[in-house]
Amino acid sequence: MGELASKEQLRMSFIRWAAVAVPGVLLLGFLSGRTVPSGEENGWYAALIKPDFTPPGWAFPVVWSTLYIMLGLAFALVLSARGARLRGLGIALFVAQLAGNLAWTPLFFGAHRVGAAFLLIVAILGLSVLTTIVFGQIRRVAAWLMVPYMAWLCLAGALNWEIGRLNPDAERLVQQPAASQMVR
């Protein structure tokens, strides 16, 4: 029972975990993004002044899909590292940062809480750094898969900060209902 797993057994363990983790993280990210209208589909967001370095709208779903795939792969690498010291801590940190990530969209786009959303991004980034450090102790590749996510979080944080700065009354900005027109 105390035998080491073969390379094939380790590879199959990773593939099984990846088959669950990657679609799971992607699905959770998709569902979070669908809880409220986001991007230019959101009238409140469309009315905000945005910084010049705001990426085009099409970039967000492309980047987030790619990042969620990478996060799922990193998570699968750690999940498949049975017996690894710090595995439990790595899993807990990953889940905590992902929960924060999933809460950001409804907080920003739904509740219009720009300041709270910025603080949440800072917390997510901090948890992601800790997750990456722990992942690096378990599987170095898992840590490297987290790096683009942290870079995007820095950009998202800067965007969130600048939107708050450029729109000091953003939290009180009320989206005007569309006027109904009756044809006679």
pLDDT tens-digit map of 6-55:
788 888 899 999 999 999 999 999 999 899 999 889 999 999 999 999 99
HSE-CB for 109 with a 13 A CA cutoff: 19
Q: What is the pLDDT at residue 10?
A: 80
Give the rounded distance of the alpha carbon of 158 from its chain centre: 15
Secondary structure letter of residue 109 according to DSSP: I
pTM comes to: 0.89
The per-residue pLDDT for range 115-166, each reduced to its tens digit, is 999 999 999 999 999 999 999 999 999 999 999 999 999 999 999 999 999 9
Say how far apart CA 3 and CA 50 lie, in whole Å: 58
The per-residue pLDDT for range 41-74, each reduced to its tens digit, is 999 999 999 999 999 999 999 999 999 999 999 9
Q: What is the pLDDT at residue 118?
A: 98
Q: What is the pLDDT at residue 120?
A: 98
Secondary structure letter of residue 42 according to DSSP: S
Q: What is the pLDDT at residue 5?
A: 73
Say how far apart CA 131 and CA 181 lie, in whole Å: 53
Cα–Cα separations (whole angstroms), residue 51 to 47, 112, 162? 13, 17, 6
The per-residue pLDDT for range 89-106, each reduced to its tens digit, is 999 999 999 999 999 999
Q: What is the pLDDT at residue 179?
A: 43
Secondary structure letter of residue 69 according to DSSP: H
Q: Where do we find the tokens 């230019």?
A: 40
